[in-house]
Amino acid sequence: MAKNNQPLSPHLSIYKWQITNTLSILHRFSGVLLFLAAIDFSIWLASIAMGENSYAVISGLSSNWLALVFWVAVSFSFFYHSLNGLRHLAWDFGKGFETHQVNYSGLIVVFLTLLLTSSFWFFLLTKYSF
């Protein structure tokens, strides 16, 4: 018996995985990760305001491999969420709803995300020495 009227769809156990629903849930995951990054951004700002020692502590926390994994994930999420957000904005204007269009725009977003994330890290690592 259903306790409430919340919609249950999609029924994940029998749902066929496609590029559209994969990218849709990835939009949410990347959004949550960027939420954490936004909190971290304010901590970083506070560390700058509090002076050199606190800045060194916060920078030190970000210099191990676990933090690097986090920042690679954040940068990927950032580019993905930005590009997929453009897709969402197009949908809000009623454009691009045909099946071949959502599949095609989804593939473009994935391709551009990988391209931008890798070139971002290439530029970053050649510019700064960590």
Partner 1 sequence: MNIVNRFLNLLCLSGFEHARDHWRSQRETAVILFILTFWFLYQLLFVLNSLDFIEVQTWATDPLNALIIVLTSLYMIYHAELGVQVIIEDYVSEKRSQLNLLYILRFFRICVVVTTLISMFFLVYEN
Residues that bind partner 1 (CB under 8 A): 3-4, 6, 28, 31-32, 34-35, 38-39, 41-43, 45-46, 48-50, 52, 55-56, 59, 78, 82, 85-86, 88-89, 92, 120, 123-124, 127-128
Q: How far apart are CA 6 and CA 27, in angstroms?
A: 21
Q: Which is nearer to partner 1, 52 or 98 (CB)?
A: 52
Give the chain's largest Cα–Cα span: 60
Nearest-Å Rg of the Cα atoms of the chain is: 19
In the block, which residue shows the tokens 């269009």?
A: 101
If one counts every other C-beta atom within 10 angstroms of the C-beta of residue 128, the result is 7
Q: Which is nearer to partner 1, 49 or 99 (CB)?
A: 49
Residue 102 Cβ vs partner 1, minimum distance, rounded to whole Å: 19
88 Cβ contact list (under 8 Å, min separation 6)? 27
Residue 61 Cβ vs partner 1, minimum distance, rounded to whole Å: 13
Q: Which is nearer to partner 1, 65 or 128 (CB)?
A: 128
Q: Which is nearer to partner 1, 1 or 99 (CB)?
A: 1
Residue 12 Cβ vs partner 1, minimum distance, rounded to whole Å: 12
Give the end-to-end CA distance of the chain in Å, rounded to a whole number.
57
